[in-house]
């Protein structure tokens, strides 16, 4: 493998690996940050609107508490009790009237509604729940028979000054204000909120009604999450509904068994992370291109001089000892790096070889001259010997 290829592999690949690791870590970290941010945002939103709903309930519960005390101090005059019920029915907003069921079976209604003879208030939930407790109780939500609107009843024991239970006073309150409060909640761009009762039935939802249950809607996609919704504790979790992953946050409404739930698509929450991921990929590609370009330039700055100088060495093997301004060893001898050191060493080697070859050439010339002189002397000696032999 050539030096340039080695540099590309052993430098480029580690850089690419580092960029990939940084991209993945950044993407995952941004995911976690966005999920945490979404959870905190949903928690704050649920807390705010949940508190508003609790205030609505507390306000109506306070009405019942006050009226219960007042009626407990009344004499046994049903006329005065009825006037009190009529007064509060007319003057307390968002209520559908106040009524009282007595232990002796009598029933008074502040809206002047007169039940038929078969009516028995003691069998009604608002009465049975309140008569057994010394606190205000809230009934299950139900539909008004008149206009099919959603209402709940709030009721409480009425005790006389001597502690004897006289009966139960109650009121039906419209949930219109609560419905408007829940429907006004915005979660992100497309998220929304809904309200469940203690059994998982939908009190407020853009699509479902009181006859729909959280365990059966959406083809039962939320059946496994019923315990999360109805745990009685705030919870943040993820569920796949209709093929879409969604985040949910639940907020139990105090003094009720209701649950305010917020929902938002996961893709919407992680939209910023997806954008960041694309940005990191583009940045990694650009960085890799820059690194490859730098490696290419650095490799060329090293390999090209080495190739040129190696050609000089090969030329020296063929006794090419020429040195000109265009010779690679002369060109690169000005470098301050190792290439410059090698180039200057090659120049020195060439000069040394030139000097040696010049000396050898001089010696050869001297030997040749001596050889010629010796040859001439030999010839003269031979001629002399020949002349002597002739004379004899």
Does 148 share its domain with 67? Answer: yes
Determine whether 173 is exposed, middle or buried from the number of CB atoms within 10 Å of its CB (0-12, 13-18, 19+). Answer: buried
Q: Above 70 in pLDDT, residue 1?
A: no
Give me the pLDDT at residue 15, please: 74
Residues 341 and 261 grouped into a single domain: no
Residue 375 located in a structural domain: no
Helix residue spans in 8-108 (DSSP H): 13-73, 78-91
**Which pLDDT score is estimated for 75?**
67
With residue 245 as reference, give the H or E element that holds it. Answer: strand 244-252
Asked if residue 241 has pLDDT above 80, the reply is: yes
Q: Are residues 301 and 257 in the same domain?
A: no
Asked whether residue 384 is domain-assigned, the answer is: no
Q: What's the average model confidence in pLDDT over 235-258?
A: 94
Same-domain status, 219 and 346:
no
Given a contact cutoff of 8 angstroms between Cβ atoms, the answer to whether 157 and 130 are in contact is: yes
Q: Give the count of beta carbons closer than 10 Å to the beta carbon of residue 165.
A: 15
Query: pLDDT digit string (tens) for 122-177?
Result: 999 999 999 988 899 999 999 988 888 899 999 999 998 888 899 999 999 989 99
Verify that 355 and 342 share a domain, yes or no: yes
Count of the separate structural domains present in the chain? 2
What is d(CA 213, CA 225) in angstroms, rounded to the nearest whole number? 12
Does residue 392 carry a pLDDT above 70?
A: no
Gap between the Cα atoms of 110 and 97, Å rounded:
6
Of 211, 246, 269, the residue at which a domain comes to its end is: 269
Task: Give the domain-ending residue among 223, 246, 269.
Answer: 269
357 and 337 fall within a common domain: yes
Instruction: Write the pLDDT tens digit of every residue in 300-342.
Output: 777 777 777 777 878 777 777 777 777 777 777 777 778 778 8
The parent domain of residue 331 ranges over 274-367
Mean pLDDT of the chain: 85
The answer to whether residue 229 scores a pLDDT higher than 90 is yes
**CATH assignment at residue 238:** 3.30.450.20
Asked whether the beta carbons of 273 and 31 are under 8 A apart, the reply is yes
80 and 93, same structural domain? Answer: yes
Same domain, 172 and 296: no
**Model pLDDT, residue 7:** 67
Q: Same structural domain for residues 105 and 182? A: yes
Q: Please report, rounded to a whole number, the percentage of residues in the chain having pLDDT higher than 90.
A: 43
Q: Tell whether 379 is covered by a domain.
A: no
234, 269, 304: which is the final residue of a domain?
269
Q: How far is CA 63 from CA 30, 122, 135, 218, in A?
A: 49, 22, 13, 39
For residue 3, pLDDT beyond 70: no
Categorise residue 362: left if φ over 0, alpha if ψ from -120 to 50, beta otherwise: alpha
Residue 262, H or E segment: strand 259-265
Q: How far apart are CA 269 and CA 374, in angstroms?
A: 107
In a domain, 378, yes or no: no
Task: Please give the pLDDT value at position 64.
Answer: 93
DSSP H or E segment with residue 102: strand 95-102
Residues 55 and 174 in one domain: yes
User: Is 385 a member of any domain?
Assistant: no
12-70: per-residue pLDDT in tens? 777 778 777 777 776 677 778 778 888 899 999 999 999 999 999 999 999 899 999 99
Q: Are residues 151 and 283 in the same domain?
A: no
**DSSP annotation string for 175-215:** -HHHHHHHHT--BTTTBEEEEE-TTSBEEE-SS--TT-BTT
Residue 93 has a pLDDT of 76
Cα–Cα distance measured from residue 134 to residue 157, given in angstroms and rounded to the nearest whole number: 6
Report the range of poorest mean pLDDT among 115-129, 230-244, 294-308. 294-308
Prediction pTM value? 0.68
User: Is there a domain that residue 389 lies in?
Assistant: no
- Per-residue pLDDT band for 279 (boundaries 50, 70, 90) equals confident
Q: Is residue 257 part of a domain?
A: yes
Give the pLDDT mean for 290-307.
78
Q: Answer yes or no: do 164 and 135 share one domain.
A: yes
């Amino acid at each position: 493998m050539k030096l340039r290829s080695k540099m590309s592999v052993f430098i480029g690949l580690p850089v690419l690996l580092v960029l990939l690791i940084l991209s993945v870590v950044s993407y995952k970290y941004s995911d976690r940050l966005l999920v945490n941010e979404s959870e905190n945002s949903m928690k704050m939103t649920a807390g705010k609107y949940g508190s508003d709903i609790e205030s609505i309930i507390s306000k109506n519960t306070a009405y019942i508490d006050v009226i219960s005390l007042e009626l407990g101090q009344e004499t046994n005059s049903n006329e005065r009790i009825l006037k009190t019920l009529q007064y509060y029915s007319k003057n307390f907003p968002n209520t559908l009237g106040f009524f009282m069921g007595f232990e002796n079976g009598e029933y008074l209604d502040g809206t002047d509604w007169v039940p038929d003879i078969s009516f028995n208030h003691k069998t009604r939930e608002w009465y049975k729940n309140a008569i057994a407790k010394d606190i205000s109780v809230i009934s299950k939500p139900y539909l008004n028979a008149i206009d099919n609107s959603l209402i709940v009843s709030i009721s409480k024991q009425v005790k006389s000054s001597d502690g004897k239970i006289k009966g139960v006073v109650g009121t039906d309150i419209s949930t219109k204000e609560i419905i408007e409060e829940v429907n006004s909640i915005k979660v992100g761009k497309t998220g929304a909120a809904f309200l469940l009762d203690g059994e998982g039935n939908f009190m407020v939802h853009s699509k479902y009604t009181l006859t729909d249950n959280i365990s059966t809607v959406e083809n039962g996609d939320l059946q496994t999450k019923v315990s999360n919704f109805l745990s009685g504790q705030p919870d943040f979790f993820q569920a796949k509904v209709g093929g879409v992953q969604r985040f949910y946050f639940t907020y139990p409404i105090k003094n009720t068994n209701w649950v305010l739930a917020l929902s938002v698509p996961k893709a919407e929450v992680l939209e910023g992370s997806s954008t960041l991921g694309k940005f990191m990929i583009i940045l990694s590609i650009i960085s890799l291109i820059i690194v490859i370009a730098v490696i290419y330039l650095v490799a060329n700055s090293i390999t090209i001089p080495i190739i040129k100088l190696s050609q000089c060495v090969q030329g020296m093997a063929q006794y090419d000892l020429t040195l000109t301004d265009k010779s690679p060893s002369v060109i690169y001898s000005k470098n301050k790096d190792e290439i410059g050191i090698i180039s200057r060493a090659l120049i020195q080697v060439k000069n040394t070889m030139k000097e040696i070859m010049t000396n050898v050439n001089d010696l050869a010339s001297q030997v040749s001259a001596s050889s010629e002189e010796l040859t001439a002397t030999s010839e003269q000696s031979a001629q002399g010997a020949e002349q002597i032999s002739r004379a004899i």
